[in-house]
Structure 1
Amino acid sequence: MAKTQPLQSTQTSRTKSSTNKYVRDFILNKYLYLMMIPVLAYYAVFHYAPMYGALIAFKEYSPMKGILGSEWVGFAHFKDFFGSYYFWRILKNTIVISLYSLVFEFPAPIILALLINEVRSKMFKRVAQTITYMPYFISLVVICGIITDFTNADGIINRLFMLFGYDGQAMLQKPELFRSIYILSEIWQRIGWESIIYIAALMSIDLEQYEAARMDGASRWKQIMYITLPGIMPTIAIMFILRMGNLLNVGFEKIILLYNPVTYDTADVISSFVYRKGLLEFGWSYSSAVGLFNSIINLVLLITANYISRKVNKSSLW
C-alpha cells in the first residue's frame, strides 16, 4: 500500500497538470478556438452526419419507410454490382482517367510554378498568373459549353485538325478521344489555381541558398534540381497524398456534361454511374452501395499513400 499510494498520487498529479495545460491553452487562444467552431460545425453537419445514410447501401430503401424501416438486404447490392457488366467497365474507366490525371495533370501546376519562379519580370509574372487563373473561375457549365462548341464538327479545333487529315466528325462523339479531351481541359482549367500553393512554397525557400549555389558556379537548372525541388518536396508530398485519397473521385459534373451514350464505354465512371442509377433511375440503395465501395477504396489509397510518404519522404498528413 505504501508503494502504490505514491504511484497513484503521481498519476493524479500528471492528469491534473495535463488538464491545467489544456485549460491555460484554451484561455490563451480562446479566439482561435472560437474561429474553429464554424469549420467543425460544417464538417459535423455536412460530412459526418450524412454518414448515417450509408445504411441505405445495406437495405432495400423506400422513402415511405425511411432508412430504419426499410428491409435489410445485407451485401445484396454489392454482389449485384460486382457481378454486373458495368463493374469492370466503370472501374477501368475511373482508374484510367484517374491515372491520366495523376500523370499529366498533377505535375502541370508544379511545372508552371517553377517556370513563373524563374521569370524575373514582375509584370510578366502577374499577367501569366492572371491568365492561367481565369479558367478556374468560369462556370463549369460554360467551360463544358466552350469545349463542346470548339470540338463540334464545325468547331475551331476540329477545323484545325481537319487541315492535318482529321475526318471532321465531332470529337466528343468519338470514344477514343474523350479521355484526352477531358484531361487536357482539366489541365487548362485548373493549372493556374493549383499552382498557387506551390508558388507560396517557393517563396519560403531561403534565398541565401541560391546565392551560395551561384557562387559555387551552379547553373539555373542545377539550382532547380538541388534547391528548388527539395525545398517544395514536402508540399508536393502532401498534395500527392491528398490526390491519392481522391484518386477515384473523378468529377461527375464535367463527365455528365461532356459524355453521351456513344462514349459510355470510355467515359462512364463510378461517380457518373452513381448519378444515373441513383437520381435518374431511382436506385438509391444500389447507387449508395457503389458510392460506399468507391469511398472505401479511396480511404485505403489515402492511408497507403500517407504510409509510403512517411517512410520515404518523412512527410505525411499524420
Structure 2
Amino acid sequence: MSVTTKGPEAQPIAVASKPPGKAERPKSALGHRLHRDRALLLLMAPGVVFFLIFQYGALFGNVIAFKDYMPFLGVVDSPWVGFANFRTLFGEAAFWDAALNTVVLSLVQLVFYFPIPLALALLLHSLMQGRVRRFVQSVVYLPHFISWVIVVALFQQVIGADGVINGTLGGSDGHLVDVIGNPDLFKPLMVMELIWKECGWGTIIFLAALAQIDEGLYEASALDGAGPWRRFWHITLPSLRAVIFLLLILRLGDILSVGFEQILLQRDAFGPDMAEVIDTYVFYHGIRDQNWGVAAAAALFKGVIGACLVFTANKIAHRMGEQGVYR
C-alpha cells in the first residue's frame, strides 16, 4: 500500500499494511502477571516446595493405617491388613481414655483461651497509644518465641514443689501449694501455660482487623449519644465478626491437637490417666512400641475428625452470612 504526498514534489510513501487475518495477538494476562511478579514468586517457591513435600506429600503415609507396616519392607511392600489396625485401635480402652481427655482439654482451651487474644487486642487498641502500646505489645509477644521446654521449666520453678512460691510459703510456715503433679489442676495449668505463651501472638490478627475500622464511625456514633458498650456492640464486634469466624474455624480444625510437646513434658508428673491425649497415645503406644499401623490409624482418625469439624463449621458460617475459610 502506498500514499502520495501532496506538493510540488509529490512522492509515494510506502506504508506497511498487515496481511488480512493476521491481527496482533494480545499478550496472555497470566503470563504478564507471572513475569511481573517473578521476584515474589521466587521468594514464595521454598515455602510452596516445603508444603508440597512435608504436608501434601506426607499424606501418602496414611496408607500405613491399612497395612502391617514393617520398616525393613517399606510402605509399598508391607502387607495389607485392611481395617485391622482400626479394630485394634477402637478396641483399646486406653485410646478412648486418651480421646476423652483430648476432647475435654480441647473444649476447655477453646472456651477459656480463644477469647483472651481478642480481649487483649481490644485493650491495647482502645486504652494504650504510642510508646507504651508498642512496649506492651513487645512484652506480650515475646513468650511465643520461647520453646515449651523453657516455658514448662519456668512454671516448675515458680509453682512447682520446690518452686519460688512454695519456698516462700515454707519459709514462713505457710501451707505448701502442690500444683505440678496434682491431677485435679492439670487442665487449668495447661490453659494457663497456653494463655501466657500464645495470647500475645494471637492478638496480631485482631489488632490488624481493628486498625481497618474507620474512626469516623466511632466519632459519628459518639455524636449520636452511643456509649462505649454500644460502640463495641454495633461497630467493633460486627467489624471483627469475619475474622472471629475464620480463626474459630481454623481452631476447630486443629482442636484435637492440644499441644503434644507441652503435654509430653508434663505427662509423667500428672500421670498417664490424666495427661494422656491422642498425640501422646500415638507416641507411647504406637511409635515407641513399634505399632506403626495402629499409630497411623489413630493419627488418621484425628485428621478425619478435624476435617469434618472444619467442613461443618464452614457450612454454619455460610448460613450466618460469613465467607468462612472457603466458598
- The TM-score bracket by the shorter chain reads 0.7 to 0.9
Q: CA separation of 1:80/1:213 partners in 2, compared to 1, >3 Å: closer, same or farther?
A: same
Q: 1:180: how far off? A: 0.6
* SS of aligned partner of 1:92: helix
Per-residue CA deviation, residues 92-133 of structure 1 (Å, 9 max, x unaligned), is 110011101110111100000001111144232122212211
Q: Tell me what 1:236 maps to.
A: 244
Aligned pair count reads: 301
Shift of 1:167: 6.2
Secondary structure of the residue aligned to 1:247 is coil
AA aligned to 1:222 is R
The reply on whether 1:144 has 2:158 as its aligned counterpart is no
| 1:49 has 2:52 as partner | no
Unaligned runs of 5+ in 1: 1-16
TM-score, normalization by structure 1: 0.87
Task: Note closer, same or farther for the CA distance 1:315–1:148 as it changes in structure 2 (3 Å cut).
Answer: same
Structure with the higher helix share, 1 or 2 = 1
Q: Which residue of 68, 71, 75 corresponds with 1:60?
A: 68
The one of 206, 209, 213 equivalent to 1:201 is 209
Letter in 2 for 1:130: S
Question: What is the letter of the counterpart of residue 76 of structure 1?
Answer: A
Question: Relative to structure 1, is the Cα distance of residues 169 and 221 closer, same or farther in structure 2, using a 3 angstrom cutoff?
Answer: closer
Match of 2:278 in 1: 270
Structure 2 residue 190 is matched with structure 1 residue 212 = no
The 1-side partners of 2:320 and 2:240 are apart by 15
Task: Report the Cα distance in structure 2 between the residues aligned to 1:166 and 1:302, rounded to whole angstroms.
Answer: 49
Deviations 1:216-261 (A, max 9, x none): 1111222112111111111111111100110111111110011217
Question: Does the 8 A contact of 1:172 with 1:259 survive in 2?
Answer: no
Are the equivalent residues in 2 in contact too, given 1:237–1:313 (CA < 8 A)? no
Residues 203-228 of structure 1, C-alpha deviations (whole Å, 9 max, x = no match): 01011101101111111222112111
Contact 2:157 2:163 in 1 (8 A): yes
On the 8 A contact 2:181/2:269 being kept in 1, the answer is: no
> Does structure 1 retain, via aligned residues, the 8 Å contact 2:117–2:200?
yes
Equivalent-residue separation in structure 2 for 1:159 and 1:105 (angstroms) = 30
Secondary structure at 2:180 match in 1:
helix
Gap regions ≥5 residues in structure 2? 1-24
User: Equivalents in 2 of 1:224, 1:261: separation in Å?
Assistant: 43
3-state secondary structure, aligned to 2:133: helix
1:111 aligns with 2:119: yes
Aligned residue number for residue 78 of structure 1: 86
* Structure of larger gyration radius: 2
Distance 1:93 1:144, change over 3 A: same
Partner of 2:181 in structure 1? 173
Partner of residue 256, structure 1: 264
Q: Are the equivalent residues in 2 in contact too, given 1:278–1:287 (CA < 8 A)?
A: yes
Counterpart code for 1:228: T
Q: How far off its partner does 1:37 sit?
A: 2.5
Query: Which residue identity lines up with residue 303 of structure 2 in the other structure?
Result: S
Instruction: Decide which of 124, 132, 137 is 2:140's aligned counterpart.
Output: 132
Residue 151 of structure 1 deviates from its aligned partner by: 2.6
* Distance change in 2, residues 1:183/1:82 (3 Å): same
